[in-house]
């Protein structure tokens, strides 16, 4: 009884005292919660305005309708994210499209356009650190095609084709067609819902979940269930011939080929090469990192798709013209090196392209072609020609090539040579152990040159400072290492 009585009183007393204390503290505590704007960039030295600070995206739902007659894209992108600080406002990267409305957690938010590609969003109330929030952006317009020295002086981004469009966003083109935290350091799951005029198809990453028709239009719903960097998201639209299969190791595969080139021998063999490369690379480097594979094969006769060019769009590389087997090995190789393990900063690009080029060499070695060491020797003796307006082959510092030389041939060839020279130096067993440890330990994440060097030293037990200095950090041809 006593217990009950005091139990009945005590809370009252505590409540009264607590209320008094709260009344004194609450205004001060509330004033103490400071909300600050998220940074407009992620600190990438080559692309200071790419990506943003203050939040992490977990999922993009990109819903678009495309009109091939006008190239107009109408979209609603819903971004699910988690704050990493108290946010008074935050940015998404978004180029020039007309923004019709922005909602945060279902409530209208004010927005502003600043700089080249910043969409600055101010929610009605600040967002507390570590909370989940949803941003919905409605927009329309013709996505701006980018070009410049950074990607071989080719147009890139969301590219109109003869009857549709294709997407080659690397490195900074994703934000020309969907608002995003456009830096590989913020990966997210992606759902793509694309509506096109009846007769066209839309191909995305991952698995086709559903498709339906209404009012003379067809809609395709795609889902990629592994973390994806923004530049690897695709939304290719055209009159594709689509075929599906499952690789012997059980990876669902979907290939989409432009019907005009469907009888091209290389187009015909792309699905077969893709099956084989997907499974065999898994044997070398460890499990294929994704839950589907395939290809998108475009017709290169149509400007601006008039050069051999490809992009390792996640689970389903995009080829602007039918690839040879080596090209498939390169792009599927990127699924491990670039897509699953991604650059920390864009200057780490040799880890993508050096590895993909080395995979070409290794694939040849494993299939009756020349040994990778011979490919190394040939490139060492006779590096590929470089355009006169680019730095000479041996002048490029591979670990920090500058923004405009991101896809310089030395990134590919000297990058691959670095890996082959390392293989030669530490031995085949330790080298493959290093590669497998790398893709396993960094899976779905990001990693830079310093981390690779550290792991190589750890796995090999060797001091590799002089080796990496010669190969990655010096603007000269390595002679001793």
DSSP state of 338: T
CA–CA distance, 7 with 42 (Å, rounded to integer): 55
Binding window for ligand ARG (CB under 6 A); candidates: 67-75, 175-183, 310-318, 393-401: 310-318
- Kindly state whether residue 355 participates in binding ligand ARG, applying the rule CB under 6 A: no
- Kindly state whether residue 156 participates in binding ligand ARG, applying the rule CB under 6 A: yes
Query: Using CB atoms, what's the residue nearest to ligand ARG?
Result: 156
- Kindly state whether residue 358 participates in binding ligand ARG, applying the rule CB under 6 A: no
- Kindly state whether residue 315 participates in binding ligand ARG, applying the rule CB under 6 A: no
Pick the closer one to ligand ARG by CB: 167 or 200.
167
Provide the minimum distance between the beta carbon of 152 and Zn ion in the complex, in angstroms, as a whole number: 12
Residue 170, contacted partner among Zn ion, ligand ARG, none, CB below 5-8 A by kind: ligand ARG
Provide the minimum distance between the beta carbon of 163 and ligand ARG in the complex, in angstroms, as a whole number: 20
CA–CA distance, 159 with 292 (Å, rounded to integer): 24
Touching ligand ARG, residues 112-151 (CB under 6 A): 151
Touching ligand ARG, residues 159-188 (CB under 6 A): 168, 170
Q: Of 286, 68, 334, nearest to 198 (Cα)?
A: 68
Pick the closer one to ligand ARG by CB: 73 or 310.
310
Pick the closer one to ligand ARG by CB: 309 or 420.
309
Provide the minimum distance between the beta carbon of 156 and ligand ARG in the complex, in angstroms, as a whole number: 3
Provide the minimum distance between the beta carbon of 443 and ligand ARG in the complex, in angstroms, as a whole number: 20
Q: Of 366, 393, 369, nearest to 381 (Cα)?
A: 393
- Kindly state whether residue 346 participates in binding ligand ARG, applying the rule CB under 6 A: no
Residue 471, contacted partner among Zn ion, ligand ARG, none, CB below 5-8 A by kind: none
Pick the closer one to ligand ARG by CB: 102 or 411.
411
Provide the minimum distance between the beta carbon of 294 and Zn ion in the complex, in angstroms, as a whole number: 17
| Tokens 């085949």, located at residue | 428
| Contact present, 255 and 274 (Cβ < 8 Å) | yes
Alpha helices, DSSP H only, in 263-382?
Answer: 265-285, 325-336, 350-366, 372-381
- Kindly state whether residue 311 participates in binding ligand ARG, applying the rule CB under 6 A: yes
- Kindly state whether residue 337 participates in binding ligand ARG, applying the rule CB under 6 A: no
CA–CA distance, 392 with 383 (Å, rounded to integer): 10
Size of the site for ligand ARG (CB under 6 A): 14
Q: Which pair of structure tokens corresponds to residue 411? A: 């990134």
Q: How many residues are present in the chain?
A: 481
| Contact present, 279 and 249 (Cβ < 8 Å) | yes
Residue 120, contacted partner among Zn ion, ligand ARG, none, CB below 5-8 A by kind: none
Pick the closer one to ligand ARG by CB: 49 or 170.
170
Pick the closer one to Zn ion by CB: 151 or 356.
356
* Ordered strands of the 55-67 beta sheet: 107-108, 98-104, 132-141, 72-83, 55-67, 188-197, 217-228, 207-214
User: 454, exposed or middle or buried, with CB in 10 Å at 0-12, 13-18, 19+?
Assistant: exposed
Provide the minimum distance between the beta carbon of 48 and ligand ARG in the complex, in angstroms, as a whole number: 20
Pairing of strands 188-197, 217-228: antiparallel
- Kindly state whether residue 309 participates in binding ligand ARG, applying the rule CB under 6 A: yes
- Kindly state whether residue 193 participates in binding ligand ARG, applying the rule CB under 6 A: no
Pick the closer one to Zn ion by CB: 298 or 353.
353
Q: Of 32, 31, 48, nearest to 40 (Cα)?
A: 48
Q: Measure the CA dihedral 129/133/139/145, to 10°.
A: 60
Binding site for Zn ion (CB under 5 A): 353, 356
Q: Of 381, 469, 379, 458, nearest to 420 (Cα)?
A: 379
Per-residue interface string for the shown chain with ligand ARG, residues 392-411, x marking contact by CB under 6 A: ---------------x----
CA–CA distance, 112 with 410 (Å, rounded to integer): 41
- Please count the CA atoms within 13 angstroms of the CA of 88 that sit on its side-chain side: 6
Residue 217: phi, psi to the nearest 5? Answer: -130, 150
| Contact present, 450 and 399 (Cβ < 8 Å) | no
Pick the closer one to ligand ARG by CB: 135 or 417.
417
Binding window for ligand ARG (CB under 6 A); candidates: 36-44, 78-86, 329-337, 468-476: 329-337
Q: Of 213, 223, 165, nearest to 192 (Cα)?
A: 223
Binding site for ligand ARG (CB under 6 A): 151, 156, 168, 170, 309-312, 330-331, 334, 353, 356, 407
């Amino acid at each position: 009884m006593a217990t009950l009585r005091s139990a009945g009183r005590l809370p009252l007393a505590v409540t009264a005292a607590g209320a008094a204390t709260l009344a004194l503290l609450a205004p001060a505590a509330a004033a103490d919660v400071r909300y600050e704007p998220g940074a407009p960039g992620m600190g990438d030295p080559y692309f200071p305005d790419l990506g943003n600070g203050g939040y992490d995206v977990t999922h993009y739902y990109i819903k678009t309708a495309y009109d091939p007659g006008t190239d107009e894209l109408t979209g609603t992108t819903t971004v699910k994210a988690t704050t990493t600080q108290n946010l008074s406002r935050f940015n998404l990267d978004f180029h020039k499209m007309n923004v019709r409305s922005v909602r945060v957690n279902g409530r209208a938010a004010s927005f502003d356009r600043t700089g080249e590609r910043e969409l600055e969003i101010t929610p009605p109330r600040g967002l507390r650190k570590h909370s989940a929030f949803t941003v919905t952006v409605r927009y329309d317009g013709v996505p701006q095609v980018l070009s410049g020295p950074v990607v071989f002086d080719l147009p890139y981004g969301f590219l109109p084709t003869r009857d549709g469009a294709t997407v080659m966003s690397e490195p900074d083109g994703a934000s020309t067609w969907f608002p995003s935290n456009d830096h590989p350091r913020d990966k997210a799951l992606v759902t793509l819902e694309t509506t096109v005029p009846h007769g066209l198809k839309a191909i995305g990453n991952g698995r086709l979940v559903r498709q339906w028709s209404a009012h003379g239009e067809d809609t395709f719903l795609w889902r990629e269930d592994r973390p994806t960097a923004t530049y690897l998201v695709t939304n290719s639209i055209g009159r594709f011939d689509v075929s599906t299969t499952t690789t012997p190791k059980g990876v669902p595969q979907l290939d989409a080929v432009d019907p005009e080139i469907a009888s091209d021998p290389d187009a015909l063999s792309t699905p077969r090469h893709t099956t084989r490369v997907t499974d065999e690379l898994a044997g070398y480097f460890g499990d294929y990192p994704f839950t589907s594979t395939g290809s998108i094969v475009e017709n290169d006769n149509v400007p601006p798709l008039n050069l051999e060019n490809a992009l390792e769009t996640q689970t389903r590389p995009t080829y602007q013209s039918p690839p040879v087997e080596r090209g498939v090995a390169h792009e599927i190789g990127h699924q491990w090196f670039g897509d699953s393990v991604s650059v920390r900063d864009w200057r780490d690009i040799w880890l993508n392209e050096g590895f993909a080029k080395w995979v070409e060499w290794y694939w040849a070695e494993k299939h009756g072609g020349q040994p990778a060491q011979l490919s190394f020797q040939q490139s060492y003796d006779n590096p590929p020609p470089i355009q006169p307006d680019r730095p000479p082959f041996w002048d490029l510092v591979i670990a920090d090539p500058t923004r405009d030389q991101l896809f310089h041939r030395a990134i590919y060839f000297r990058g691959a040579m670095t890996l082959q020279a390392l293989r030669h130096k530490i031995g085949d067993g330790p080298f493959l152990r290093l590669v497998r440890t790398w893709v396993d330990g960094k899976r779905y994440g990001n990693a830079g040159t310093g981390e690779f060097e550290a792991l190589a030293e750890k796995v090999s037990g060797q001091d590799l400072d002089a080796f990496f200095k010669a190969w990655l950090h010096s603007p000269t041809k390595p002679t001793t290492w």
